[in-house]
Amino acid sequence: MKVTKALIFCTLLFFRYPLLAQKKNEIAVESRFLQLKDALNQGMVYGGPHIGFRYRRNIAFETWELRYEPRMAVGVLFNRGMIAANFQVSPIDFSGLVPVFRSEKAAVRAGLHFAANYCYQLYPNQMGAHLFWSSEIGFSPCAEYDYRWKNRKITLFLQNSVAGFVSHTQEIPPYFYSLTLADFVVQPHCTMQFGSFNTYNHTNLTVSFTPNVSTHHSFALGAEYFNIYAGKRFQSLTYSVQWKKSF
């Protein structure tokens, strides 16, 4: 009986913050334009439209805020009439933010961001069914600035990687190759290397505008740059327009 009471006490203690926390959900649809440059593919630049989806679970505690924001995008890329397919997924994406400054109209929060990002390409016209990938499991500091006026809000979010594990396709096998579902999981993980600014850089900047805070709709413009220097250089630059709805 004592054990049961202790378990109940611990459970209540452990979940005290979530029970008191304010929870909010948000979904977003993105229209993206992505450019991708891969040294393994002669430094050719493929570019094309994508559509993306993201979900955000926002848990605001008394003094800090936790976000879980998985996302995915899919699209096509073109170069010289050749087509490529691109798929991006971030199943793990957490941000923890604490207030740094707060006034009646403005607020600044800063914190740490942790994400696992995966990006896959297939170049059917050029490379057949060879799988190209880039992946990142890394930490970034992040900061957010809010400004409100007349029931409107503008938010600026910035993150930049500091350290993590990255992987990128380093060679194309001359003849025999593999393309299985397992390759999508195994390959980006088995060749990862740890590094910081000397290995990769991932910058994400988003400017959101909420025209009427009470309507739960908002719009955002985003720019994201990902660059792996280690081995064959890989770069991607994404511009996005987002429509978001919170509930």
Closest to another protein by CB, 43 or 141: 43
User: Between the CA of residue 101 and those of 94, 106, 110, 147, 154, what are the distances in Å?
Assistant: 22, 8, 9, 12, 16
Smallest gap, in angstroms, from Cβ of residue 122 to another protein?
A: 10
186 near another protein, judged by CB under 8 A: no
**Residue 175 or 247 having the CB closest to another protein:** 175
Considering the complex, what minimum distance in angstroms separates the CB of residue 23 from another protein? 39
Helix (H, G, I), strand (E, B) or coil at 79: strand
**Rounded CA separation 34/193 (Å):** 25
Give the whole-angstrom CA distance, residue 107 versus residue 100.
Answer: 8
Cα gap 48→217, rounded to integer Å: 27
The residue with tokens 């452990």 is 14
Residue 77 CB, nearest approach to another protein (Å):
12
Residues 217-246, interacting with another protein (CB under 8 A): 235, 237
Pick the closer one to another protein by CB: 155 or 235.
235
Q: How many CA atoms lie within 13 A of 34 on its CB side?
A: 26
Residue 96 binding another protein, by CB under 8 A: no
**Among 142-150, 161-169, 171-179, 203-211, which window interacts with another protein (CB under 8 A)?**
171-179
Question: Is residue 206 close enough to count as binding another protein by CB under 8 A?
Answer: no
CA atoms of 166 and 66, how far apart (whole Å): 24
| Binding residues for another protein, total number by CB under 8 A | 25
Rule CB under 8 A: is residue 78 a binding residue for another protein? no
Q: Does 127 contact another protein by CB under 8 A?
A: yes
**For residues 236 and 85, what is the distance between their CA atoms, to the nearest angstrom?**
14
Which residues lie near another protein (CB under 8 A)? 35, 37, 39, 42-45, 47, 80-82, 124-129, 174-179, 235, 237
